[in-house]
């Protein structure tokens, strides 16, 4: 439940007013009445005492002026019901062994009223007694006063309390209005102005000329909006400068992207160049077959055309030519596939996923990579172990991208074993690269493992960073593994590395089926 | 001879003593008699120069509040512990001193009359009466105040 400031002010004022009104209307009258009753009792008792003293003086000193003055004073009170002199006599028995105290009314004013000597106060009358002892007479003054005065006073107090409560209530309401006007209204104006400033209207100012905290708040608000306006102007200027800088940065980024693309292309071309020899070797084989079988077929055709050739021989020759043509076609297709693969590798285009026989693809990539390094280093020797899972058939991949990754990893593996071969003199060590596939539940796992130099932990953390390379200057761009990482991620897969420095490295590519 | 002379002397002496005693007794009784006599004094304003004993008692008992000219009656008495006061109680009020006090207390208490003023000495009383309009007082009748006394039933002494 939201309670507004105005409501809070009203609640506070009303609470105070109600408490005050309650005090004036109930507590104060009760206390006043108690006080009044107490004073009234005291006053009557004093009168009784005065009269008793007057009587005592009158009897002992024969000075009746005191009692007359007191009596005149008492009689002047309209609430007097009676005043009596009670005479107290001690009555002894005949043997003078015991006595009784007898109280009788000596005189009463007004004359003719019958007074009970044991009368006490009740709701309608207050009775007070004051004793006196003289040689002439022992007794007491019994004074009875009507409570009408108290009842009237109570009524007056209640009326006064009601009137004061009403005044307090009205004053409270006026204070409430005043507070609401002086606190709530400026605060609400401040809130509205703050909201409009929040919406962007910095022309908002509050007009509050009070010299209290709210006035100071208004001044602070105006100062803040001024500062905000200035700051916004400065931000605008800064934004313009930033926009300009941003444009420049955008241009720089585009240049960088272009440079990066060029670098990636260079990397690609570098790997392509590295593979050219292997590819050429691969193409050379089918071309040799094509050439040889073509030449052989040409010779068979000449033999077929010779006159001495029998029909039976012709039939055999045609069979051989047919066989040769099939072999030529087979090796021609093989060369075609190699060339297409090379083209795919070099082409800068975004591919689409197609079903590819992954084992066959790895087979060819391994051959290409191996011959690539062999073309560069004819003395390179390495045992290549292929451990392909037969259960794996076609997998949806972008073939040119996965080829690129595999060839890159194989190149690194061959480089690692060749480095170890160059650096270490280990007679029992044999360079080995294991290419494997494994069909897991929903993943095809490709493994490329070597027993080369291995990677230190420090290097391992950085190998997927762009432009990080451990190869000598000119031999690597540092983009190879970074591109591999991006390609595998774009396939929704994962690439992981396990390595032990000096013992070997295994890269694992997990592709979701 | 000698014896007779002595007896005569003794008789003379006794006679002198008896005479002296008689003189003393008589003078004392005369004094008491003189003291027993009371007189009434009054202020020149309001108080009549003569009145009856009945009227005097009516005034002195507070039954009458004002003189004939409207002046308020103010009673002055000697205190009851003085011989004059006791005499006054007895002669005027036919009461003892205590009874007089109770009498006045009852009257004053009930507001039936104004309280009388009691004095210790006659001079004070006379002075008060002389200075207070409407005042009437009971004093001892003496030859010195004979001229000031009010005749009651034609007599200056009571």
Tell which A residues from 49 to 78 touch B, by Cβ distance under 8 Å: 55, 58-59, 62-65, 67-68, 71-72, 75
Chain B interface, mutation test: which of A57, A64, A110, most B Cβ atoms within 10 Å?
A: A64
Closest CA to B34 of B144, B134, B129: B144
The 8-class DSSP code of residue A511 comes to E
Sign, CA torsion B91/B94/B96/B97: negative
Q: Is the ipTM of this complex over 0.95?
A: no
Least confident of A95-109, A471-485, B37-51: A471-485
Integer angstrom CA distances of residue A80 from A47, A71, A132:
11, 11, 21
pLDDT per position as a tens digit, A451-473: 999 999 888 888 888 777 777 76
SS3 track for A89-126: EEEECCCCCCEEEEEEEEEEECCCCCCCCCCCCCCCEE
Q: HEC string of A331-347? A: HHHHHHHHHHHHHHHHC
Q: Please report which confidence band the pLDDT of residue B34 belongs to, taking 50, 70 and 90 as the band edges.
A: very low
Residue B60 clears pLDDT 90, i.e. is over it: yes
CA neighbor of A435 nearest in space, from A457, A406, A460, A456: A406
Chain B residue numbers touching A107 (CB-CB < 8 A)? 105-106, 109-110
**Digit-coded pLDDT (tens) for A311-322:** 888 888 899 889
Nearest Cα of chain B lies from the Cα of A68 at a distance, in angstroms, of 6
Q: What is the pLDDT of residue B30?
A: 45
pTM above 0.80?
no
Q: Is A496 helix (H, G, I), strand (E, B) or coil?
A: strand
Task: State the pLDDT confidence band at A375, using cuts at 50, 70 and 90.
Answer: confident
d(CA B94, CA A343): 169
Q: Which residues of chain B are at the A interface, by a Cβ-Cβ cutoff of 8 Å? A: 79-80, 98, 101-102, 104-106, 108-111, 114-118
Q: What are A102's strand-pairing partners?
A: A89
Distance CA(B50)–CA(B40), nearest Å, equals 10
Two tokens, residue A11 = 């609640």
What pLDDT digit, counting tens, does each position of A318-365 carry?
Answer: 998 898 898 888 888 877 877 776 665 555 456 788 899 999 989 988
Q: Is residue A511 within 8 Å of residue A493, measured between CB atoms?
A: yes
Burial A276-294 (b: 16+ CB within 10 A, else e): ebbbebbbeebeebbeebe
Question: A127-176 pLDDT, tens per residue?
Answer: 999 999 988 889 999 999 998 888 888 888 889 888 988 898 898 889 88
Check residue B151 and give its pLDDT. Answer: 92
CA separation for the pair B119, A480 (Å, rounded): 146
Answer yes or no: is pLDDT of A13 > 90: no
The span from the CA of A496 to the CA of A509, in Å, is: 7
Residue-wise pLDDT for B91-134, tens only, equals: 999 999 989 989 998 998 888 888 899 999 999 999 999 999 99
The more confidently predicted of residues A263 and A223 is A223
Q: Is the pLDDT at A273 greater than 70, yes or no? A: no
Most confident range (mean pLDDT) of A23-27, A147-151, A279-283, B39-43 is B39-43
Q: Residue A96: its pLDDT value, please?
A: 85
A68 and B116: CB-CB below 8 Å?
no
Over residues A404-433, the mean pLDDT reads 88
Q: Hey, what are A147's tokens?
A: 């409570």
Q: Which residue has the higher pLDDT, B42 or B15?
A: B42
DSSP E strand boundaries for A277-378: 354-357
Tell me whether residues A109 and B109 touch, CB distance under 8 A: yes
Q: Judge contact between B88 and B77, C-beta under 8 A.
A: yes
Instruction: Judge whether A239 is closer than 8 Å to chain B, CB to CB.
Output: no
Q: Which residue of B has its CA nearest to A58?
A: B105
Q: Is the pLDDT of residue B29 over 50?
A: no
B153: left (phi over 0), alpha (psi -120 to 50) or beta: left
Measured between alpha carbons, how far is B137 from B130 in angstroms, rounded to an integer? 10
pLDDT at A474: 58
- Are A47 and A73 spatial neighbours (Cβ–Cβ below 8 Å)? yes
- Cis ω for the linkage preceding A110 (within 30 of 0): yes
Q: Which of B98, B104, B110 sits opposite A64 (nearest CB)?
A: B104
Q: What would the mean pLDDT of A27-51 be, rounded to a whole number?
A: 90
Average pLDDT, chain A: 86
Give the one of B79, B111, B114 whose C-beta lies nearest to A62's C-beta.
Answer: B79
- What is the pLDDT at residue A472? 72
Selected for mutation to probe chain A from B98, B105, B132 (highest A CB count within 10 Å) is: B105
Query: What's the DSSP call for residue B155?
Result: B
pLDDT at A223 over 50: yes
């Amino acid at each position: 439940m939201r309670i507004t400031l105005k409501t809070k002010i009203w609640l506070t004022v009303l609470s105070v007013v109600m408490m005050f009104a309650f005090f004036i209307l109930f507590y104060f009258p009760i206390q006043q009445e108690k006080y009044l009753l107490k004073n009234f009792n005291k006053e009557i008792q004093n009168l009784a005492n005065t009269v008793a003293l007057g009587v005592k003086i009158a009897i002992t000193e024969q000075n009746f002026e005191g009692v007359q003055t007191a009596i005149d004073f008492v009689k002047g009170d309209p609430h007097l019901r009676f005043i009596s002199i009670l005479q107290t006599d001690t009555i002894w028995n005949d043997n003078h062994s015991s006595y009784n105290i007898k109280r009788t009314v000596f005189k009463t004013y007004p004359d003719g009223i019958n007074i009970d000597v044991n009368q006490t106060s009740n709701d309608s009358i207050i009775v007070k007694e004051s004793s006196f002892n003289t040689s002439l007479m022992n007794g007491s003054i019994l004074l009875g006063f009507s409570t009408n005065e108290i009842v009237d006073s109570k009524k007056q107090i209640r009326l006064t309390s009601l009137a004061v409560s009403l005044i307090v209530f009205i004053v409270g309401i006026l204070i409430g209005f005043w507070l609401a006007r002086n606190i709530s209204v400026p605060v609400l104006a401040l809130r509205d102005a703050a909201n409009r400033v929040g919406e962007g209207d910095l022309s908002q100012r509050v007009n509050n000329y009070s010299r209290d905290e709210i006035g100071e708040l208004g001044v602070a608000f105006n100062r803040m909006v001024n500062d905000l306006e200035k700051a916004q102007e400065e931000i605008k200027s800064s934004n313009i400068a930033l926009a300009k800088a941003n444009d420049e940065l955008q241009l720089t980024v585009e240049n960088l992207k272009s440079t990066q693309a060029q670098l990636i292309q260079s990397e690609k071309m570098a790997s392509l160049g590295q593979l050219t020899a292997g590819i050429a070797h691969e193409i050379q084989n089918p071309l040799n077959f094509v050439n040889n079988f073509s030449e052989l077929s040409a010779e068979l055709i000449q033999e077929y055309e010779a006159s001495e050739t029998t029909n039976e021989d012709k039939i055999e020759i045609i069979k051989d030519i047919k066989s040769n043509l099939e072999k030529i076609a087979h090796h021609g297709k093989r060369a075609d596939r190699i060339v297409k693969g090379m083209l795919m590798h070099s082409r800068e285009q975004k591919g689409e996923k197609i079903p590819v026989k992954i084992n066959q693809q790895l087979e060819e990539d391994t051959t290409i990579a191996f011959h690539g390094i062999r073309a560069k280093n004819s003395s390179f020797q390495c045992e290549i172990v292929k451990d392909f899972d037969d259960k794996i058939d076609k997998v949806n991949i972008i073939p040119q991208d996965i080829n690129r990754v595999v060839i890159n990893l194989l190149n690194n593996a061959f480089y690692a074993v060749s480095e170890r071969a160059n650096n270490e003199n280990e007679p029992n060590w044999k360079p080995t690269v294991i290419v494997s596939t494994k069909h897991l539940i929903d993943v095809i796992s490709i493994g490329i493992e070597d027993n080369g130099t291995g990677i230190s932990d420090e290097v391992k953390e950085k190998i997927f960073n762009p432009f990080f390379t451990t190869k000598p200057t000119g031999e690597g761009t540092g983009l190879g593994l970074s591109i591999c990482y991006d390609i595998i991620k774009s396939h929704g897969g994962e690439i992981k590395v396990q390595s032990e420095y000096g013992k070997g490295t295994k890269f694992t590519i997990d592709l979701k089926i | 001879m000698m014896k007779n002379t002595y007896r005569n002397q003794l008789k003379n002496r006794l006679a002198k003593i008896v005479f002296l005693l008689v003189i003393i007794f008589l003078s004392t009784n005369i004094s008491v008699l003189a003291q027993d006599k009371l007189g009434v004094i009054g202020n020149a304003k309001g108080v009549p120069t003569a009145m009856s004993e009945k009227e005097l008692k009516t005034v002195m008992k507070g039954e009458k509040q004002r003189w004939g000219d409207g002046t308020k009656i103010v009673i002055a008495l000697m205190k009851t512990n003085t011989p004059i006061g006791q005499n006054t109680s007895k002669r005027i009020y036919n009461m003892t001193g205590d009874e007089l006090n109770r009498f006045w207390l009852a009257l004053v208490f009930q507001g039936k009359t104004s309280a009388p003023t009691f004095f210790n000495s006659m001079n004070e009383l006379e002075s008060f009466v002389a200075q207070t309009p409407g005042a009437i007082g009971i004093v001892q009748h003496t030859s010195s105040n004979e001229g000031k006394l009010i005749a009651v039933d034609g007599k200056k002494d009571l």
